[in-house]
Structure 1
């Protein structure tokens, strides 16, 4: 990783603030563009751009609607976004999404005045509803050691961010933990005593959540801790999980949701959206907490992408207990890593789906 030079500048003096920026031209004889003012407060309009440093190293470039090459996060800010989400892996094989990479990206976002969500996977690679692999270094840990590892890793990354004067507003303790995290599915009592798979040992999952929660508050006392599941349209999935967590003394501040209608085959995107918006209201009332859309997306060239995003962003804004919407990896184009739900076209320009964030 390249080291980013310079000391981070504190840009936020409170939760509500605005910043200004001036675009410069390479032609000294041209008139400077009008200074822009960005409102970074209120409803979070965000994007997970965790792939950005890897994409840049591979030569990917991003362009505004006029075809001008623009740094990706700055371009997203110009399109109305005010927040960035970044995933964290424990010991990734190639370094991407590890601590140093996350700090570098977070520092960049801070310089633009962007608010920040940190998403801990507690794995060396992808964690999602189908896989929650224990980091290799933690493989033989018992229950107490696993709790301590969660706390230590969380503090280590957050301390590194704080040392760069990076502010963190939200922290996910786990990623799409629809059936918990830190799974050990081997046979026998020893595995059952340590697994964080919720359907096998909800008490363990609650304990791991609390280890992460307490670690977050030790470093960033004002940060909001999120427990995040997929399929925001599936109410029963959420009530099963959060009833179980509540019964086992788990702590959280915000419920996080993912919503990808392309992966839900028995409903239209309109039905999926309506169910999700209804669930936000139901869950925030039932558990007395806010809800946030941590991930959202649709196939980039779908005719439904723009209306879907507009419906969801407008609908979430209208719900007082919804804190925001984060598009997952909108900068992806040309099928980057096989992912087709970005919001940039194959020429590197943003699609109409991002108009919803203006």
Structure 2
């Protein structure tokens, strides 16, 4: 019995060995492939912190650990567009007009399309604060509206004189309840907010008629918020070319919010005949694989909007690492891009 069993086992091993030698395919790890998008789709990043970070000695590296200039590095990762914020008179100078122009020139030289994001403030403007620039605070509303127009013309003209014609311009940043509070607070006076949007729109077009104007609010999954805002602006005669959205899901709810965002985009396109763009996204830097899944999905969804009316997706400050406590970047602690940004690859 023992001899027979040994012969039997030997035969089985020989068969298996021959089978492997004959080249039976073995399972291989799946290779990630980024979403395929249209040639016009904006794969973007807001890297407005770059000059301030560089001045503090921060450096950036490719995945192999080679130091790189950030704009060239972003280009090599598959990005084709750069978003830059504009502040009126920031206390430390960062994101003022001169700093904006310096970064825009670098973006142009890297072969990138450019989006300018006017906050119409001296510092951060967002859903929780829309503070007037200090120099504009005493102005009555008519003068305030004219000042916004003239400031916008001035910045756009300075960019143009430096060879920069932005592809897109945001007139306001995350203006969920308007801007330049209190006069421009939408929930109190939608007509005033619409007047400010009209002033910004006409200013941009007076310098470059081909630049697309974006009205941007956050929470791209919140259809009720978007309908309230754009119904109100439309009723008061405001104009825009693109609806901009922010989307910052968690690692556990991104599938739900992505689906809601897509539904909202489809509704905006149908309701206002307006294309849409997700101009800010981000996710926990400590979860790069999940972030890549989120980004792959939202890029695919936006790109698939009918009529090519889903125009692009921008990551907000992906280069931030160990910087001002911001935890939603997409570079690791050694200054290299994480796998999250593979979603923007070619």
Q: Is TM > 0.5 for Structure 1 vs Structure 2?
A: yes
SS in 2 for 1:304: helix
Q: Deviation at 1:41?
A: 4.9
Q: Deviation at 1:167?
A: 2.1
Q: Which has the higher contact order (CA 8 A, sep 6+)?
A: 2
Q: 2:110 aligns with which of 109, 112, 122?
A: 112
Aligned partner of 1:316 in structure 2 is 302
Q: 1:152 aligns with which of 141, 150, 166?
A: 150
Match status 1:219 vs 2:204: no
CA distance in 2, matches of 1:86, 1:40: 23
Aligned partner of 2:336 in structure 1 is 349
Q: 1:59 aligns with which of 34, 47, 57?
A: 57
What's the TM-score, normalizing by structure 2? 0.87
CA contact (8 A) 1:48 1:84 kept: yes
Aligned partner of 2:229 in structure 1 is 241
Aligned partner of 1:330 in structure 2 is 318
Number of residue-to-residue matches in the alignment: 306
Unaligned runs of 5+ in 2: 1-36
Match status 1:82 vs 2:71: no
CA distance in 1, matches of 2:264, 2:227: 10
Aligned partner of 1:269 in structure 2 is 254
Unaligned runs of 5+ in 1: 1-38, 185-194
CA distance in 2, matches of 1:318, 1:71: 33
RMSD between aligned alpha carbons?
1.4
Comparing both structures, which one devotes a greater share of its residues to helix?
Answer: 2
CA contact (8 A) 1:40 1:115 kept: no
SS in 1 for 2:271: helix
Q: Deviation at 1:44?
A: 0.4
SS in 2 for 1:337: coil
SS in 1 for 2:79: coil
SS in 2 for 1:324: strand
5 Å matches for 1:21-170? Answer: 41-170=39-168
In terms of mean alpha carbon deviation, does 52-61 or 299-308 score higher? 299-308
What's the TM-score, normalizing by structure 1? 0.84
Larger-gyration structure (1/2): 2
